[in-house]
Amino acid sequence: MSVIGAYLRLARVGWVLMREGVVSALPTEGMPPLARTAHTLAGLFERRRASKEDRSDRLARAIERLGPSYVKMGQFLATRPDVVGAEIAVDLSALQDRMATFPREAAVATVEGSLGRPLDDLYVNFGDPIAAASIAQVHPATVRDATGERKVAVKVIRPGVRQRFAHDLEAMYAAARLQERMLPNTRRLKPVEVTRTLEQTTKVEMDLRLEAAALSELGENTASDPGFRVPKVDWERTGRDVVTMEWIDGIKMSDVEGLRAAGHDLDRLADTLIQSFLRHTLRDGFFHADMHQGNLFVDPEGVIVAVDMGIVGRLGKKERRFLAEILYGFITRDYQRVADVHFEAGYVPSHHDTASFAQAIRAIGEPIHGQPAETISMAKLLTLLFEVTELFDMETRTELVMLQKTMVVVEGVSRTLNPRFNMWKASEGVVGDWIRDNLGPKRLLTDLRDGAHAALRLAEAAPEIAAKAEKLSQDITSMAEKGLRFDAETAEAIGRSEARHSRSGRLALWIIAATLVYIAWKLA
């Protein structure tokens, strides 16, 4: 029945997207003939007002109708232009959490249930909600401790959101599997894996203790960084469904005129923002992956304060070197090195020719060197790089796509502060220092140290590895003599699963067909 329910919910999603004119507003370039026909038919079902709205407005209205789970999915897909395309990603990036607030009484019950204490024992006062998002809403409050009274922000999970997301996720998985089955050329984008990533990131975001941990980690990493910080966490008043943190008195970065009127140096803020992001990425391998203007404040001292750490990104040492070498290769016009890095990291299949790939990279890099530095857009560079890697069958790397998207967003925020923002000049010091420390002589010492540690761990595990190897050898010998066999219980379970899947799939398709016929009949 869950399969049938997933297909019914998927049918509702399709219907809403058609009615709000989202499907008919999609670009048709590159669509197969059958998809173009469906695109044309979708226009017959849209509301009259939808045809007069921009595509982004239609998309926002449709997602609002579908509910909080789809708002979160839209925001997640905004970080994946490789999946939805650059134009749709831009539309989705404008999607804001403007959900209706839920009653204060429900929030109080959630806080008391999560923390196991009466509200009066936790807060001196607890105000009405001031902002509501798809997963949680924020309340102003006051706490009293040994230092006196202080104002805090309390983020409370939305009641029932986990159950709603779990149900909607079934439809998302169904759509991903249909895409893999019906559009084989999109399999390299790994739609099921993308959905699994959405599931994991949203589950993490729904546990506010993990957001608090991310704030704490980034706070420790940036303790000595100039011009950037995050709110402090009140761990005594933090649980799975509630996080209490320092109240930030500041001006949102979206209020450029307000920042200017307050006397802040906008050019310096733009430089600090990109330098901070690159420092977090290259030095720490841990970055805020949702740094849009609504999540960035400037306090009275001119320090940038980043909030809402529900979405974070991590890069391993290999990925950080990959990023730095690509940037360095473009700066020095060493396109062969950029190509070699892609192949060494295994991002481009080895059957392609590195010289041909280097030639394609040159087509991106050379036009950049003919422009003034302040006109070179990281967004454009990354878009072109993605188009080239697509030609060479580069599979999706979730961590790199999230990094690229965040870098584009940060650059965009910096350019709203300073229209002549020079991305390369602002980032030169941070990137240069990291390259000198990690791609020069120091790298050899670090690699030797890491290699010694790895060898020591291998030596410690040698007895266990030998025992497992001996058992594997015995199993292979037995398999060679007797063949590979399933026991009766396993074979029976496989048969039941296949039969159930086949019946459910056929029944779901008949229900969807009947639903569409009914809708068409009602509209006739």
Quick check: 128 and 154 in contact, CB under 8 A? no
Q: What CA–CA distance (Å, rounded) separates 127 from 129?
A: 7
Q: What CA–CA distance (Å, rounded) separates 198 from 190?
A: 12
Hey, what are 232's tokens?
A: 């402090």
Greatest C-alpha distance within the chain: 83
Residue in 289, 293, 320, 324 with CA at minimum distance from that of residue 427: 324
R_g over Cα of the chain? 26
Q: Which of 91, 290, 353, 437 is catalytic?
A: 290
Q: What CA–CA distance (Å, rounded) separates 474 from 463?
A: 17
Q: What CA–CA distance (Å, rounded) separates 68 from 22?
A: 18
Query: What SS3 state is found at 494?
Result: helix
Quick check: 120 and 144 in contact, CB under 8 A? no
Angle separating helix axes 317-332 and 398-417, nearest 10 degrees = 50
Q: What CA–CA distance (Å, rounded) separates 134 from 146?
A: 35
Return the amino acid letter for 325.
E
Q: Is 290 among the catalytic positions?
A: yes
Give the DSSP per-residue string, 96-118.
---PPP--HHHHHHHHHHHHSS-
Return the amino acid letter for 445.
L
Q: What CA–CA distance (Å, rounded) separates 303 from 225?
A: 10
Give 140's Cβ-side CA count (13 Å radius).
Answer: 8
Active site residues: 290
